[in-house]
């Protein structure tokens, strides 16, 4: 900005709403919950400062593409801890996501062909085509097993290679499977997602078995796809809408009663499809009907009567709250109640369980320095808790926490809540077989 031109403001559709940013009374109660504020102790790196920046752009006092504004919209994790803390009900996530959409649209004409290709490869190709996601995962597995990390680097997966868990030989692909529960009380649609189905297929297998134990049959329709969260967090709301339509149609065709997600980030996006289609006369109503049926797996299991024949897990477990479960979906008690049902398991609380671990979609790629600081902070809190297992409910958190613990040579395992429950039931079955 040289002062000769009027600042570039928000324009067109998907603008941050004045109704939202004007609700901020600048009380600062959100500041101690914001991971980037805790790390930097800088006003502009916190929610209150970022809201002021959004307001300044909306009022024409700051350029949309000013370096400081673009940097702050990128540094924010969209973890939404500030929403949980806010007494005025500022829907902060909507502000940052629409601000990013505005920035991306304004930057697009000047984007280099290389940057555009990388963005399209990451967002439009890998997340729209899950067969390509499986191909990329297979390449990563090859690199992990042969030490050819450079091969992953060629595909732009160098950082992913460092953070990724060991990629298994078999994925859990949506192929139209159906699993019939004994004395079924309903039908659950299982969302397989993009990362979970290649990196943690065992979590899907455990989810199916747990739903069956809760007397829900399970369908896994092949026409579902990525939830769109990563695209929306990256400011590509239009692409997020295209992905949302595919899942809404797949659920409508399936005839299932409930749409179940076991990845907190996916569940939060799926529950917010109504917002993606605000003002759309056709898709608005369909999205609302869809989102009303979405549940996290821990909500479903917590609400159902489970088989009382459960085995022991003798372990000390701490629970890492995924931001998009605790802050976006406001689900916090259900995972803990489920863990407490496991005989032998001692649940302890770590410090800062609800502070983001730095995973946040593709944040490791876009903000590697802050992602690394938050990963170390989380690993230190886990170690200080003394737990030998960390339970969580989101693949991004699982990868990030495990990478943080690996870096400190910790032996602490990371597991999804549903894996621990399934382990306990399988321990009971194994004991019965031995007896
Ligand atoms: S979404 Fe998270 S990182 Fe962003 S301002 Fe709110 S608390 Fe801070
Ligand atoms: S808690 Fe809410 S009202 Fe208070 S400063 Fe933060 S966003 Fe604004």
For 396, residues 6+ apart whose C-beta sits below 8 A from its C-beta are 195, 263, 265, 322, 359, 360, 361
Q: What is the dihedral of CA 64, 66, 72, 75, to 10 degrees?
A: 100
Which candidate, 244, 300, 234, places its Cα nearest to that of 272? 244
For tokens 């529950």, the residue is 271
Residue closest by Cα to atom 7 of ligand 2: 24
- The residues with which 258 forms a beta bridge, in sequence order, are 188
This prediction's pTM: 0.92
29 CB under 6 A from ligand 2?
yes
48 lines ligand 2 (CB under 6 A): yes
Is there an atom of ligand 2 within 6 Å of 86 CB? yes
Q: What is the mean pLDDT of each run of 10 residues along the chain (435 residues)?
A: 68 94 97 97 97 97 96 96 97 95 91 79 78 87 75 54 82 95 96 92 97 97 94 88 96 97 97 94 96 98 92 97 97 98 97 95 88 96 97 95 93 97 95 86
Q: Residue 48 C-alpha to ligand 2 middle, in angstroms? A: 6
Alpha-carbon span 401 to 382, nearest angstrom: 9
Helices (H) and strands (E) in the chain, counts: 24, 9
Q: Which residue has the tokens 């593409």?
A: 65
Q: How far apart are CA 208 and CA 214, in angstroms?
A: 10
Distance, CA of 253 to chain centre: 25
User: Residue 269 C-alpha to ligand 2 middle, in angstroms?
Assistant: 23
Distance 401 CA to ligand 1 centre (A): 19
How many CB atoms within 10 Å of residue 111?
A: 13
Residue owning the nearest CA to atom 7 of ligand 1: 34
pLDDT at position 153 = 55
Q: What is the DSSP letter of 400?
A: H
Strands 389-392 and 413-416: parallel
**343, 324, 348: which is closest to 420 by C-alpha?**
343
Are 340 and 307 contacting, i.e. CB atoms less than 8 angstroms apart?
Answer: no
CA dihedral for 149, 152, 153, 157, sign (positive or negative): negative
28 alpha carbon, closest ligand: 2
Looking at residue 128, its pLDDT comes to: 78
First to last CA, the chain: 77
Whole-number Å distance, alpha carbon 27 to ligand 2 midpoint, is 5
Cβ 27 under 6 angstroms from ligand 2: yes
Domains and CATH numbers, the chain: 18-110 (1.10.1060.10), 113-163 (no CATH), 177-302 (3.40.50), 308-434 (3.40.50.1860)
Q: What separation in Å is there between the alpha carbon of 357 and the centre of ligand 2?
A: 22
Instruction: Name the 3-class secondary structure at 133.
Output: helix
CA torsion angle 103 104 107 113 (round to 10): 160
Instruction: Cite the DSSP H helix spans in 273-394.
Output: 273-276, 283-291, 297-303, 323-326, 333-340, 363-366, 368-385
For ligand 1, say whether the CB of 374 is within 6 Å of any of its atoms.
Answer: no
For residue 54, what are its two tokens? 């959004």
pLDDT at residue 195 in the model: 87
Please say whether the beta carbons of 125 and 243 come within 8 A.
no
Q: Cα(30) to centroid of ligand 2, in Å?
A: 6
User: What residue's CA is closest to ligand 2, atom 2?
Assistant: 86
Residue 168 has what DSSP assignment? Answer: P
Distance CA 199, CA 246 (A): 22
Closest by CA to 158, choosing from 146, 150, 166, 170, is 150
Tell me how crowded residue 247 is: count the other CB atoms within 10 A of its CB: 26
Report pLDDT for 3: 47
């Amino acid at each position: 900005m040289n002062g000769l031109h009027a600042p570039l403001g928000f324009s067109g559709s998907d603008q941050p709403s004045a109704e939202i940013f004007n609700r901020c009374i600048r009380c600062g109660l959100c500041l101690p919950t914001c991971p980037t504020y805790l790390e930097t102790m800088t006003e502009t790196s916190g929610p209150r400062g970022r809201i002021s920046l959004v307001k300044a752009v909306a009022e024409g006092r700051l350029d949309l593409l000013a370096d400081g504004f673009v940097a702050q919209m990128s540094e924010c994790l969209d973890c939404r801890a500030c929403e949980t803390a806010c007494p005025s009900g500022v829907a902060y996530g909507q502000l940052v996501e629409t601000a990013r959409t505005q920035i991306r649209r304004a930057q697009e004409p000047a984007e280099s062909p290389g940057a555009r290709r990388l963005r399209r490869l990451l967002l439009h190709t890998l997340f729209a085509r899950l067969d390509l996601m499986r191909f990329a995962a297979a390449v990563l597995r090859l690199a992990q097993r042969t030490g050819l990390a450079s091969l992953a680097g060629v595909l732009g997966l160098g950082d992913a290679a460092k953070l990724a868990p060991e990629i298994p030989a078999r994925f859990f692909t949506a192929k139209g499977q159906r699993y019939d529960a004994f004395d079924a009380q309903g039908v659950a649609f299982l969302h397989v997602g993009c990362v979970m189905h290649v990196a943690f297929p065992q979590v899907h297998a455990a989810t199916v078995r747990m739903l069956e134990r809760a007397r829900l049959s399970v369908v896994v329709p092949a026409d579902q796809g990525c939830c769109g969260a990563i695209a929306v967090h990256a400011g590509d709301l239009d692409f997020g809408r295209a992905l949302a339509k595919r899942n809404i149609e797949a659920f409508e065709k399936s005839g299932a009663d409930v749409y179940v997600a076991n990845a907190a980030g996916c569940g939060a996006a799926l529950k917010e499809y109504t917002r993606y289609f605000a003002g759309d006369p056709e898709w608005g109503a369909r999205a609302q009907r869809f989102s009303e049926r979405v549940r996290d797996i821990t909500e479903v299991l917590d609400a159902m009567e489970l088989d009382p024949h459960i085995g022991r897990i003798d372990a000390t477990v701490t629970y890492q709250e995924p931001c998009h479960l605790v802050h976006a979906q406001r689900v916090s008690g259900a995972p803990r109640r489920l863990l407490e049902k496991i005989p032998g398991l001692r649940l302890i609380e770590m410090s800062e369980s609800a502070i983001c671990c730095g995973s946040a979609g593709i944040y490791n790629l876009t903000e590697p320095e802050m992602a690394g600081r938050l990963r170390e902070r989380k690993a230190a809190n886990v170690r200080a808790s003394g737990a030998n297992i960390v339970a969580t409910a989101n693949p991004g958190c699982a990868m990030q926490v495990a990478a943080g613990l690996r870096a400190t040579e910790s032996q602490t395992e990371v597991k999804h809540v549903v894996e621990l429950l399934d382990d306990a039931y399988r321990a009971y079955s194994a004991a019965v077989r031995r007896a």
